[in-house]
């Protein structure tokens, strides 16, 4: 491992979305935002549907993260999530359409279940758009 770097890995069931040595990691846990630097104490958190980012050599790399877990120990960090995308890989037109569909469903939803599903879809679309805007 490179000196004073954190080995970071972002994994979904389908693939490794990102793996590299980075300087810092910032994410949104269920209980609030957190940042991790080299030699941080061991740390675990459940993750919110939100953006996460790493800093590598003064460059910011953003991701959409759809929940999951974060673990840090011995300068190794791991995010396990059902879905994640590198901000630069996100199709913004597709994410915008998903946002509009979710808003349309939300405006006509009649049951609590429909409202919950539409809100979840809207949150995912908004996170994807936010991560894509930080390319």
Which domain covers residue 128, as residue numbers? 92-133
Task: Mention every residue, 6+ apart, whose C-beta is less than 8 A from residue 31.
Answer: 45
Q: Looking at residues 102-122, what average pLDDT do you find?
A: 88
Extract the tokens encoding 127.
């996170």
Residues 15 and 74 in one domain: yes
Residues 100 and 125 in one domain: yes
For residue 1, is it within any domain?
no
pLDDT at 74 over 80: yes
Element (H, E) at 72: strand 59-73
pTM: 0.85
Q: What is the CATH number of the domain that holds 74?
A: 2.60.15.10
Q: What is the pLDDT of residues 10-57, one digit of tens each?
A: 999 999 999 999 999 999 999 999 999 999 999 999 999 999 999 999
pLDDT band at 135 (very low <50, low <70, confident <90, very high): low
- Could you write out the DSSP letters of every residue in 45-64? EEEEEEEEEEEETTEEEEEE
For the beta carbon of residue 4, count every other beta carbon within 10 angstroms: 11
Structural domain count of the chain = 2
Q: Quick one: pLDDT at residue 2?
A: 47
* Alpha carbon distance, N-terminus to C-terminus of the chain: 26
pLDDT band at 100 (very low <50, low <70, confident <90, very high): very high
């Amino acid at each position: 491992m490179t000196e004073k770097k954190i080995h970071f890995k972002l994994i979904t069931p389908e693939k490794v979305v990102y793996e590299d040595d980075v300087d810092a990691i910032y994410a949104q846990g269920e209980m609030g935002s957190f940042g991790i630097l080299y030699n941080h104490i061991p740390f675990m958190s459940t993750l919110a549907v939100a953006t996460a980012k790493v800093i590598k050599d003064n460059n910011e790399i953003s991701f959409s993260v759809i929940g999951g877990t974060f673990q840090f120990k011995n300068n190794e960090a791991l995010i396990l999530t059902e879905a994640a995308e590198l901000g630069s890989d996100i199709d913004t037109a597709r994410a915008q359409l998903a946002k509009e569909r979710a808003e349309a469903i939300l405006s006509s939803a009649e049951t609590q279940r429909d409202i919950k599903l539409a809100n979840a879809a809207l949150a995912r679309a908004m996170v994807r758009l936010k991560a894509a805007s930080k390319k």
